[in-house]
Chain A
Amino acid sequence: MKLLDFPAYLRDTAFRLLPHRARTGLFPIGDPGPGAPVLVTGNFTLTVRRLRDVLAGQAAWLLVVNSKGFNVWCAAGGGHLTHHDIISAMRVAHLADKVSHREVILPQLAATGVERRAITTATGFETRWGPARLEDLPAFLGRGSRVFNAERFMRFPGWERQEMAAIWYAPALILLTPILWFALGPAAALAGSAGLVVMVATLFAMLPRFNPLGRWRLPILLGFGLFGALAGWGLLAASGGATLWPLIAIGTTNLIGTGLLFMDLSGTTPWYPSVVNTGANPATITLNEARCNGSGDCVMVCPRQVLKMNGRRRKVEIREPAQCIQCGACIVQCPRDALLFRYADGSTVEAPTIRNTRLNLLGKRRTLHR
């Protein structure tokens, strides 16, 4: 990353909940000729900047699609990045006149919203899924645009967990610190802010060690809240300002912080289904084996190793249903509509509904499947 880009990186990271629109269009990476590969992405500024960094030294075309300033995963799930948007971008950029081949490489995490075949039908371009994570792109391109199995699955390294922690505490600090400063003075404001940051950062650092959807999630989060409050109280005591109201304010701040995290902590991880998506009515991915023709389209887009191809039988198998984060990508991509969600009451949601609703935000699938 260039030094000059750092303030923008901080802005995009801290305010990642908000859309940040990059310029759309077709951009050269290095010195691409007409035969260079075309990589598709959304117009979230952080993603575009990282792509440029990671692709330095490569020769490729970057087609930045209007995802309304959201990252690919959120935009595709929320209906802001669809095959219609990609078709638009290809036509607006006159891609067919700029390259000699007829293939675009799609970001795998767009699979919830993007239907590949519609792109081919409308533009004549074939499509191929790239790796799930952009840092795997150089190796992917080096192999002639072939994805290794391991590159399809989501990782959540420590530095990325800290980035996600920042999207929780940065807006909170902007709102809370001035209030604490104004009401109780600088010592209380700094101690309260530091306690909150320590609490959230520690929680995300330890995320692999507990399940934010498990039955103990509330006590665990309250424990983190108490830990943050203790950190703040300790700092306050060290500064000699440990009076009643600042102590209460710091405890309350951490309690509110844990309450907000409780709402959808799992949704800021790539490992667990978002509560906003599943609600209190989680579904189980189910295969209608009679319909499956073994195309493997579903296996290519699952970020959680839920599905596996049985080559001998030429059928897909659901190996790890508990790992499913209910993104619906496999259901959307199946050419035979062989996959579906089944609810605890026995009702089902099939592919046409998933293709319309994308994620189940605010429970909208629930009204449709009854």
Chain B
Amino acid sequence: MSSFVWMKVLESTPERYDRGISMLSGGRIGEVYQRIAEIAAVPARRVLDIGCGTGAVTLACATRGAVVTGIDINAEMLDVARAKPVPEGGSAVFLQRAAAEIEDLFGEASLGAVVSCLAFSEMSVEEQDYALETALTRLVPGGVIVIADEAEPATGFRRLLHRLRRLPVVVATYLVTQTSTRPLAGLTGRMRAAGFAEVTQERMLSGAFLIARGRRP
């Protein structure tokens, strides 16, 4: 599960992104998408997906009847997302925007949920904080935020093992794409600092994936 760094390789060919991510996760990335949707999406709820990529989480939420807007900077990934069929009962719109542009799209207290998968680790810490603070104001009271991203295992030995397994993938990705992903750290603390309540986290896929959730008080 250390191989999410290959995401950047796959981004160079967005048409193959979904299949590649699925292969790299041993076919289990769908469990993460479904878990996010399970927490965040209910029929007719307005949901924002930050860094939606090819739209897997957006559409998982729409399948549950939510009215979802997916935003991403990468226009090619959005083209792939728009080509996918929107499930009956829900709706999905994809827009080219950054996380700090949420305020241009949504008024205060207008969203029932904000979700994000494999996007926060691409932002600087300052951008993450800004996105969290803005998301808080756009959520209705009681609205939920769910952020899923690559994380390092919590215990020392497993973290070491994780890093050793990750190293060759990181090197190979650098050689092919000159970039890499970084595990996300300190997210739940920053969610609390931004003002979210009931912040909890769960780990999936052998501890290498973190799903953090919270509510607007």
Contacts and interface: CB of A to CB of B under 8 A. Distances in A.
Contacts of A79: 73-75
Nearest to A355: B75
Interface in B92-138: 96-101, 104, 122-124, 126-127, 129-130
Contacts of A45: none
B150 to A, nearest CB: 16
A68 B179 contact: yes
Nearest to A121: B104
Contact of B13 (A18, A23, A91, A362): A362
Interface string A336-368: 000000000000000000011100011010000
A17 B179 CA distance: 9
Contacts of A362: 12-13
B180 interface: yes
B73 A91 contact: no
Contacts of A23: 124
A87 B100 contact: yes
Interface in A51-91: 66, 68-70, 74, 79-80, 82, 84-85, 87-88, 91
How many A residues are at the interface, by size bracket?
Answer: 20 to 34
Interface string A78-113: 011010110110011100000000000000000000
A357 B123 CA distance: 21
Contact of B73 (A85, A93, A357): A85
A357 B76 contact: yes
Contacts, number: 65
A91 B100 contact: yes
Interface range on chain B (Cβ under 8 Å from partner): 20 to 34
A80 B122 CA distance: 10
A258 B78 CA distance: 39
B178 interface: yes
B178 A19 contact: yes
A275 B32 CA distance: 39
B126 A356 contact: no
A87 B101 contact: yes
A253 interface: no
Nearest to A24: B124
Given A19-B179, A91-B130, A361 B12 contact: yes
Interface of A: 17-19, 23-25, 43, 66, 68-70, 74, 79-80, 82, 84-85, 87-88, 91-93, 122, 355-357, 361-362, 364
21 contacts: A17-B174, A19-B178, A19-B180, A24-B124, A43-B124, A69-B179, A70-B179, A79-B73, A80-B179, A82-B73, A84-B98, A84-B101, A87-B100, A88-B100, A88-B130, A92-B100, A92-B124, A92-B129, A122-B104, A357-B76, A364-B13
Given A85-B98, A355-B75, 14 more contacts: A17-B174, A19-B179, A24-B124, A24-B127, A43-B124, A69-B179, A84-B73, A84-B97, A87-B98, A88-B100, A88-B101, A92-B124, A92-B130, A93-B126
